[in-house]
């Protein structure tokens, strides 16, 4: 097998793994949402709730940038989350042009439940690996994350 053919095969395997992981993740989390939270959120809404939970508060532009959404799409999904009683918009006292997004009590509880579900699912998957293999995997994923962040920074500078 030529080096190019082997590399293409390895890349195809990575793509298959990622597709299988995300299909599994979405099915498991969707089922957990239905049974545990009585709430139907799409992955974008779940991501936004998780982001606001981590950051405590953020602006719509932060959400759009983090999730690579247009301002129109961001406004629509934030309006839906606000109507569902999961987030609130609060105008800054220091600068009235700034509107902060924060979670309501219900949104905080839901975001914490979703995080716990994701953590449980990840833990179950990691049980396929020994402790040493897990540590090796985490190290490799950290390297990949740093490369992705570097590439994103370069991409954003080029496409400004």
Rounded CA-CA distance 117/38 in Å is 14
**Is pLDDT of 78 > 90?**
yes
Q: Give me the domains of the chain, ranges plus CATH numbers.
A: 41-128 (1.10.10.10)
Q: Would the pTM count as exceeding 0.75?
A: no
Question: pLDDT band at residue 35, thresholds of 50, 70 and 90?
Answer: low
Average pLDDT of span 136-152: 89
Burial of 81 (0-12, 13-18, 19+ CB in 10 A): buried
């Amino acid at each position: 097998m030529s080096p190019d053919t082997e590399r293409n095969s390895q890349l195809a395997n990575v793509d298959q793994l990622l597709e299988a992981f995300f299909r599994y993740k979405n099915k498991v989390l969707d089922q957990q949402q239905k049974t545990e939270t009585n709430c139907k959120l799409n992955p974008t809404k779940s991501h936004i709730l998780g982001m606001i939970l981590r950051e405590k508060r953020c602006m719509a532009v932060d959400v759009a940038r983090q999730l690579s959404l247009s301002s129109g799409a961001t406004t629509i999904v934030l309006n839906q989350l606000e109507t569902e009683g999961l987030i609130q918009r609060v105008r800054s006292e220091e600068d009235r042009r700034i509107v902060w997004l924060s979670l309501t009590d219900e949104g905080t509880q839901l975001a914490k439940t979703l995080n716990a579900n994701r953590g449980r699912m990840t833990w179950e998957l990691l049980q396929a690996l020994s402790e040493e293999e897990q540590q090796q995997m985490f190290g490799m994923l950290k390297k990949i994350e740093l490369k992705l962040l570097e590439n994103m920074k370069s991409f954003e500078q080029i496409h400004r």
